[in-house]
Structure 1
Amino acid sequence: MSKIALTIAVTLGVVFMLLGPERPINLTSPAAILGDTTYNMETVVAPILSGAALQAFSYLGTRTKFGPFLRRFLLLDNQVTTLRDLAAQMPDVQPLHHPVYRMGRKEREEHDKGLEGKGDLNKLIPFVDGDLFEKFSDATVLKLHRAYSDRSLSPVDVANKVLSSIEALNPKYRPFSAEPDVAEILKSAADSEDRYLDKKPLSIFDGVPVAFKDMINIKGYVMSDGSSYKIEVAEKDDLIVKRFRDLGAIILPPTTMTEGGVTPIGYSVHPKGPFNPYDSGHYSGGSSGGSAVAVALGICPIAIGYDGGGSVRTPAALSGVYGIATGYGRIPFSSHLASTMIKSGVFGESVSDTILGYAVMARDLDVETDFFSKMYDGGVNGVPKAHMGALLKDETSTTDLSDVVIGVWDEWLEDSSPAVVKENKRVLDGLIKRGAKVKNFKIPNIKWARLSHALKISNEFASAWDGAFHDPNSNLEPNTRITVGVGSMLTAVEIHSAEKIRAYIFEHVRSIFKDGGIDVIFTPTVPLTAPTVTPGSLDTGESNTPLTVELCKYIFIGNFLGLPGLANPIGFDEGNDGMPISALVTGFQWEEDKVFRVSAAIESSEGARKRPTDAVSLI
C-alpha cells in the first residue's frame, strides 16, 4: 500500500469514527450475553504492516494530531465497548486486579503434604539423592554435573565450547543481545573446576551455563529490555540471577527479546533477531525468543524468561523446546516489573531440566519481603510452597495416569492448523492409554476474555513505556509505538470492565478445576507453526495484530488468570519447513507439580526431542 493510499484510508477511518458516536451500552439487547459458552474466537481486525507502510502508519497513529482518533478507532473496530456490556450484566462482581487464588486452611494443609518426602524442592537443589537422580536422568544439568564429578569433562572445557558456539551461532540466530564477558565466564568456570577437584561443588548447577532474558539485571552486562531506549549497565544481579550464581552456575550474556516484550512474534529491530533455530527464515516466537533459541541450539540446558502474554510458552512452541510459565506469584524477582500478567518461566532441553531450573527459582521464599507473599496474606505464611508432590509420589507417576483428569474443550483444541490438531490429538490419545481420564469443559465468553487480556496487557505496556512514548528522541520501533499508543487510549471504565470479566472468568475456571475435578487442561500451545520472516520487517519490525492474537489463542488464559502452563515439543509440521509443533499443559494456580507430571508423561512417551541441525552438544 502506498503512503498516499494509506493516508486516505486513515483519514476516512477517522472521519467515519467522528461521524459515528460510540455505541451505547444496551442491557435490553447487549452485544454479548454473560455466560454464553459459544466458541467464537474470530480473527481480530487490524492492518498487517511492515517496511515503509508500517513506518507511515506508526507516524500517523502516534506522532500526529490524527493519532489519538485513529488509535481509538482501532479499539472501537474490535468491539472494545462490548466489555462494558458484559460488565454491566454483573453488577455484584468485584474487579480482579491481581489474579491470586487464596487457599483455605484445610486446602493449604492438604497442599503442604506435597512437601513431605521427595516432593520438597530443597531435596532437588543443591543435590539429588540416588532415586531422584534416576527420575531426572535425562536432564543435561545432571549429565554435566556427573561428568564434572567423574572428571570426564571440565567446566572450563564446557565454557570454552559455549563461547565458541556463541561466536559461531549468534550472527545467524541472534539468541544473545550482548557480547559475552569472556574473562568473567572463564573465571567462573575455573572456580567451578577447582571446587570439583576438591570434591566440594556448590550444587548440581556448579559449572552449568545458564542464560537470562534481557529483562532482569545481570551484573556487568548492558541491559536494554530489547530496546535502544533503555540501555544501562547492571550494577547488581536480579534475585533470580543471584540464586543461580550462588549455586555456581556460569552466567551467560542476556538473551534477545522483542522491544518491551510487546509482541509474541519474536523479532526485534534493535538486536536484529532472534531467528528460529530450525530455520532462520522463520520467526522464533517471543518475547523471550533468545532464551528459547539458546536452549534449542544446545548452548545452555536451561534459560530463564518472563511471560505476560505467552512470552515463554510461545517461543518454546515455535522453537521446539520445553518451556514453563509458572503461576502468577510463584517466582520472586527483585526487578519491579509492575504487571498483573507477567510470570517467570524456564526453558529446558528436557522436562527434567525445566524442573531443576524451576526448583532453584521457586524454593525458599522470604515471606516477609517477597511482594507476592505480602500480597497473599500479609507475609504471615506466604504463598503456598512449591513442591513436586504429584510427580514424585511414586515410581509410576508418569506411566500410570489413572488418577489424572484432563480437561478438554474439543472446539478449542480443534481450532488450529490440521498438522497441529493431528499431533495434539495423537499425544492426548497417548495420555489416555496411560490411564488418564478426559472431562469436557467450556469457558464462558472466551472471546471477550481474550480481548480483556489483550487490552489489560496493552494498557500495562502503555504505563511502563509512557515516558519513552512521549520522548521525541526515544526511537521506539514503529510497532512498539502503535501497541503502547493503543493501550494508552483505553478508558478507565473499559479497564474496570476487563477486570470484572477477569474476576468472573477466574471464578468459573476455579470451579472447573476445584469443583469439576480437573487436574490439567490440554490444548495446543499455539494454533500454527512458526511463520516465515516478512522481508520488509528486518529494518522496521512488523505490526501484525491478527497473528499476535492468534498466537495467544490458548496461552492468554494463563496470564489472564495466573495459571501455570508448560509447552511440550511433540512433532514437526512438514508442510511448513519442518517447524516444531507443541502441546500445552495448563494447571491451576500453585499446582505446577501436576503440570510437570503430565508433561513428564508426554516426554517419556515421545522420547528425546529432535534437535536443530546447527545445535551443539556440551557433553
Structure 2
Amino acid sequence: METLKNALGQPTPNTLCDLRDGLVQGRYSAVELLEHYLREIDATVDSIRAFVVVFADDARRQAQESDERRRAGRLLSEIDGIPFAVKDIIGIRGQKMRAGSGAVDIVPTSDAPVITQLRAAGGIIIGTTRMHELAYGPSGLNDFDGGAYNPRHPGIIPGGSSSGSAAAVAGGLSPIAFGSDTGGSIRAPAALCGIVGFKPSYGLLSTEGVHPTAPTLDHVGFLAVSVADTRIAMRVFGHVPIEVGPGEGRRLALFDDPDLAVDPAIAAALQGALDSLADRGWRIDSVTSPIGFDVMDVSSTIMAYEAYRVNRERLETIPERLGADVRERLQDGSRITSEQYENALREVDRVRTEVAALAERYDALVNATIPITGPTREEAVLENVRRMLMRNTRLQNLLGGPAISLPGAGDGPAPWSIQLFSVRGRDAELLATAAAVSDDVTG
C-alpha cells in the first residue's frame, strides 16, 4: 500500500474523500487503511487520548468483509471500508457505554439507529471517543478520566462535549467521527481543534439509543476534515443530495448580538473573512438578534431542567461518582421550576418565528463559532469562560436548525472559526453554502 502520511503536525489530515478514492483506485485495501489508523491511535494513547476503547479485532473483521465485498463488486456505499470514530454516548450493541462518567455503566443490547445505518453502509467502527462527562460541559475536561487533548493546539482545551471525536479527526486518528450537540458540543470542539463540525436539523439523524442530555435540544452530527466529507456522510445517511448548489444570490448576514462582547482578534478575523467573501461577489448584510431574548438564560433553563430529570437518580443515589462540575450543574437544575421551564419553551417559540423570517432572505446567517480565543485548561474552569465557549452555539439548538463550524484562515488567532446556520430543514442548502464559503475563504 502507499504510505499514508502521519497527520500529526500536518495542516490537513487525510480526508474521507481522498481515502474513498484511494480504496476505489486500489492504492490500498480497507484492511491496510484500518491498520494505518490503528497504528496512529496506538502512537497517541498518551499524547492525544482521543479514544476510550478501540475495537481493533472487530474493526479488522469489518475491514476484511469490506475488502471481500469490493472484490465481489458488492460495495454497500461510498464509505464502505472507511473507519468511523463514535462518541461514547451512542449505543453500540454489546459494548460498554460510559458517557464519560463514573456514574454510567450501560451495555446496550442493540445498536443505536445511526450505528445500524453506519453498519449498513459498510463504515468501520474503530472505537469510542472521550467526552465531557454526560455531554454536559463545553471544555472537554473530565474529572473521571482526564479527557482528551487538543492535537493541533496543545496549549488549549479540546472543547466539549465531543472532545475525543474532535481530537481523533484533528489528530489524523479517524477521518470522520460521530458527535452529539446539545448546545454546541460538536461545533465548539471542532472550532478549537481546527476542523469542521456539523449539527443537522433537529431529528434529522436519530437520537434514539443515544444517552440523553436534554432531549429537546440533543442532536447527532459529524466532525470531519472538510465540508465535502460532511456532505458525503449526510448523503450516505440518506438526507442531503450532494448536487445541491448554493443560492444564486450568495447572500450572507452577519448575526450580531449587541450585548455580546467579542474578542477583538476574533472580530477582526471574522470581518476579514467577510470582506474577502464580498470581494468574491458575496452580498454581506448585518442582522440583529431578537430583542429581549437572553439565549444563555433560556437555553440554560431548558437544558438544566431536562438534564436534571435525565440524571436525577444518579445525583440522588451515587453523587460521588459524578464530577464536581457536572454535579453542581445538575443540582442547579433541580431548583428550576416547571413554570420557569414552560416560560422558556414559549420564548423559544416566539424567537423561532423571528429568526426564521430573518434567515429566509439569506443563504446563511454567520457569526464566530466561539467569540473568545481558545482558553487553557486552567482558564476553562472559570464560569465566565465556560459561558462564552457556548454563547454563539446555543441558539441553533433552541431553534433546531442546521449549523456548521468552519476553521478560519488568514492572520487571525489560532484557532478561530466561522459558524454558518439556517432554519430547520435547510440542511442541503446550508452545506452547499458552507462548501462555497470554504472554497472562497477557508480553503
Query: TM-score with structure 2 length normalisation?
Result: 0.91
Q: 1:434 aligns with which of 259, 280, 284?
A: 280
Taking the aligned partners of 2:366 and 2:129, their CA distance within structure 1 comes to 29
Higher relative contact order (CA 8 A, sep 6+): 1
Q: Does 1:546 find its partner at 2:362?
A: no
Q: Cα offset for 1:334?
A: 2.4
- Aligned ranges 1:153-552 → 2 under 5 Å: 153-178=28-53, 180-335=54-209, 337=212, 339-361=215-237, 363=238, 386-388=239-241, 392-393=243-244, 397=245, 402-410=248-256, 415-445=261-291, 448-472=294-318, 474-514=320-360, 517-534=361-378, 543-552=381-390
1:280-311 Cα offsets, whole Å, 9 max, x none, are 33200100111111111112221111110100
SS of 1:251's partner is strand
Q: Does 1:602 find its partner at 2:440?
A: no
Q: Does 1:566 find its partner at 2:400?
A: no
Q: Cα offset for 1:545?
A: 2.5
Contact 1:413 1:523 in 2 (8 A): no
1:421-453 Cα offsets, whole Å, 9 max, x none, are 122112212222332222332223355232111
**Structure 1 stretches lacking a partner, 5+ long:** 1-137, 364-385, 536-541, 609-619
Which 4+ residue blocks in structure 1 deviate beyond 4 angstroms?
Answer: 410-414, 572-575
Matched letter for residue 256 of structure 1:
R
Taking the aligned partners of 2:55 and 2:344, their CA distance within structure 1 comes to 44
Matched letter for residue 533 of structure 1:
R
1:505-528 Cα offsets, whole Å, 9 max, x none, are 1121122124xx233101000012
Paired residue for 1:149? Answer: 24
- May I ask how many residue pairs the two structures share in their alignment? 429
Taking the aligned partners of 1:530 and 1:235, their CA distance within structure 2 comes to 39
Taking the aligned partners of 2:130 and 2:411, their CA distance within structure 1 comes to 25
Larger radius of gyration: 1
Taking the aligned partners of 1:200 and 1:472, their CA distance within structure 2 comes to 50
SS of 1:177's partner is strand
Contact 2:77 2:121 in 1 (8 A): yes
Identity %: 26
Taking the aligned partners of 2:55 and 2:269, their CA distance within structure 1 comes to 42
Taking the aligned partners of 2:154 and 2:410, their CA distance within structure 1 comes to 16
Q: Relative to 1, partners in 2 of residues 1:343 and 1:190: Cα closer, same or farther, differing over 3 Å? A: same
Contact 2:268 2:412 in 1 (8 A): no
Taking the aligned partners of 1:444 and 1:160, their CA distance within structure 2 comes to 51
- Aligned ranges 1:121-160 → 2 under 5 Å: 140-160=15-35
1:528-570 Cα offsets, whole Å, 9 max, x none, are 23211129xxxxxx75331121112211110111121100001
Taking the aligned partners of 2:298 and 2:260, their CA distance within structure 1 comes to 23
Taking the aligned partners of 1:287 and 1:573, their CA distance within structure 2 comes to 28
Contact 1:264 1:548 in 2 (8 A): yes
Contact 1:419 1:573 in 2 (8 A): no
- Pick which of 138-147 and 337-346 moved more: 138-147
- Pick which of 348-357 and 466-475 moved more: 466-475
Matched letter for residue 351 of structure 1:
V
Taking the aligned partners of 1:573 and 1:284, their CA distance within structure 2 comes to 21
Contact 2:280 2:440 in 1 (8 A): no
Contact 1:185 1:250 in 2 (8 A): yes
SS of 1:462's partner is helix
1:209-254 Cα offsets, whole Å, 9 max, x none, are 0111111112232210110111233332211011111111110111
Taking the aligned partners of 1:181 and 1:392, their CA distance within structure 2 comes to 35
Matched letter for residue 527 of structure 1:
P
Query: TM-score with structure 1 length normalisation?
Result: 0.66
Q: Does 1:583 find its partner at 2:429?
A: no
Q: Cα offset for 1:143?
A: 2.3
Q: Cα offset for 1:414?
A: 8.1
Taking the aligned partners of 2:17 and 2:76, their CA distance within structure 1 comes to 14
Contact 1:431 1:601 in 2 (8 A): no
Contact 1:414 1:421 in 2 (8 A): no
Contact 1:221 1:254 in 2 (8 A): no
Q: Cα offset for 1:605?
A: 2.2
SS of 1:465's partner is helix
Q: Calculate the aligned-residue CA RMSD, in Å.
A: 2.3
Contact 1:221 1:253 in 2 (8 A): no
Contact 2:55 2:125 in 1 (8 A): no
Q: Relative to 1, partners in 2 of residues 1:504 and 1:574: Cα closer, same or farther, differing over 3 Å? A: closer
